[in-house]
Amino acid sequence: MSLDIHLQPGSLVSARGREWVVLPDSKDDTLILRPLGGSQREATLVYLPLERTPVAPASFPPPDPALAGSHQAGSLLRDALLLRFRAGGGPFRSFGNIAVEPRAYQLVPLLMALKQATVRLLIADDVGIGKTIEACLIARELLDRGEIGRLTVLCPPHLCEQWQGELDLHFNIPAEVVRTSTVGRLERGLPPGRSLFEVYPFTIVSLDYIKSDRRRDEFLRSCPEFVMVDEAHTCTRSGAGGRHQRYQLLKGLAETGGRHLVLLTATPHSGDEAAFSNLLGLLDPDFAGLHELPEGRRAALREQLARHFVQRRRPDIEEWQEASLFPERLTREAVYRLTGRWGQLFDDVLEYAREMIAGSAGLGLVEQRMNWWAALALLRCISSSPAAAVKALSTRIEAIEKAMSPDVLDEEGEALTLDGGADLAAISDSVPAAARDDVEHLALLASYADDLRGPAADPKLAALLAEVQALVAAGFRPVIFCRYVATAHYVAEHLAKAFPEYTVAAVTGELAPAEREERVVALAATDPRILVATDCLSEGVNLQEWLNAVVHYDLSWNPTRHEQREGRVDRFGQPSSQVRAVMLYGEDNPVDGAVLKVILRKAERIRKELGVLVPMPDDENRVSQAVMQAVLLRQQEGKSRARQLSLFEARLLPLEEDLDRKWQNIRDKVARNRTIFAQRRLRPEEVLPEWRKAMAALGGEEDVRRFVRQAAERLGAPLESRRQGFRLHLRHLPAVVRERLAGLGIDPAGPLDLEFRYPPPPGCRFIHRSHPLVAALADFLAEGAMDGSIPEIVARAGAIFTEAVTVRTVVLLVRLRCQLVISRAGQEHTMLAEEVLPVALAADSSDWLDGDAARQLLDAQPCRDMDPAARRRHVRAGLDRLAGLADRLEALALARAEALLADHRRVRDAAEARGQYRVRPVLPVDVIGVLVLVPFVPFV
Q: Give all strands of the β-sheet with 529-533 in edge-to-edge order.
A: 328-336, 578-586, 549-552, 478-481, 529-533, 503-507
Burial class (CB in 10 A: 0-12, 13-18, 19+), 466: middle
Q: In terms of Cα–Cα distance, which of 839, 837, 843, 853 is closest to 934?
A: 843
Distances (CA, A) of 467 to 319, 335, 461, 507, 604: 35, 10, 10, 20, 20
Contact 13, 35 (CB under 8 A): no
Residue 382 CA to residue 679 CA, distance in Å, equals 47
Peptide bond into 528 cis (omega under 30): yes
Cα of 234 vs its chain's centroid, Å: 19
pLDDT digits (tens, 9 = 90+) for 859-875: 888 988 899 999 999 99
Strand partners, 848: 841
Tell me the CA end-to-end span of the chain in Å, nearest whole number: 65
Q: Using alpha carbons only, how large is the chain's radius of gyration in Å?
A: 33
State pTM to two decimals. Answer: 0.74
pLDDT of residue 591: 78
Q: Which helix (H) or strand (E) holds 204?
A: strand 202-206
pLDDT digits (tens, 9 = 90+) for 480-534: 999 999 999 999 999 999 999 999 999 998 888 888 888 988 898 888 999 999 9
Burial class (CB in 10 A: 0-12, 13-18, 19+), 137: buried
pLDDT of residue 695: 64
Question: Which residues in 412-448 are b (16+ Cβ under 10 Å) and which e?
Answer: bbbbbbbbbbbbbbebbbbbbbbbbebeeebeebbeb
Peptide bond into 759 cis (omega under 30): yes
Residue 417 CA to residue 432 CA, distance in Å, equals 8
pLDDT of residue 81: 85
What amino acid occupies position 693?
K
User: What DSSP string describes 333-353?
Assistant: EEEE---HHHHHHHHHHHHHH
143: number of CA atoms within 13 Å, CB side?
Answer: 26
pLDDT of residue 361: 65
Three-state DSSP class for 30?
strand
pLDDT of residue 426: 47
Q: In terms of Cα–Cα distance, which of 369, 483, 371, 533 is closest to 436?
A: 371
Q: Residues of the chain whose pLDDT is less than 50?
A: 1, 404, 409-410, 421-423, 425-426, 620, 634, 636-639, 643-645, 647-648, 940
Distances (CA, A) of 917 to 589, 834, 910, 920, 940: 67, 17, 15, 10, 60
Determine the length of the chain: 940
